[in-house]
Amino acid sequence: MTDFDEIIRIQRHMQRRLSDEKKMEDTVEVLMVINEVAPDPEQRIHKETVMVEAGIRGYSEGYVEKILDQLIRDNVLFVPAPGYLKRR
């Protein structure tokens, strides 16, 4: 492996780490939105409200949808009824 190849490998590794950190920060921001619109952990959250609030903060609807889907897969949230979210 040449020095150039090693530099490229390191650069790709750093890009992946930065991307992962950005995703984590965005996930935390969406969770903050959820906590702001529904401070009571037992409260159902209208998904559209989360989408609108996150949109105001500059997040696209598709990106927020991906974050919410991941939070559901990670058992942080669940869908108690169509169009609603709830914390576990």
Percent of the chain with pLDDT over 70: 100
Task: Note the pLDDT of residue 1.
Answer: 80
- pLDDT value at residue 72: 97
Kindly report the CATH number assigned to the domain that includes residue 34.
1.10.10.10
Q: Is 86 helix (H, G, I), strand (E, B) or coil?
A: strand
pLDDT at residue 34 is higher than 90: yes
- At 86 the pLDDT is 96
What are the start-end ranges of the E strands in the chain?
Answer: 45-46, 77-78, 84-87
Domain that holds residue 30: 3-87
**pLDDT at residue 74, as a whole number:** 97
pLDDT digits over 62-81, tens only? Answer: 999 999 999 999 999 999 99
Q: How many domains does the chain have?
A: 1
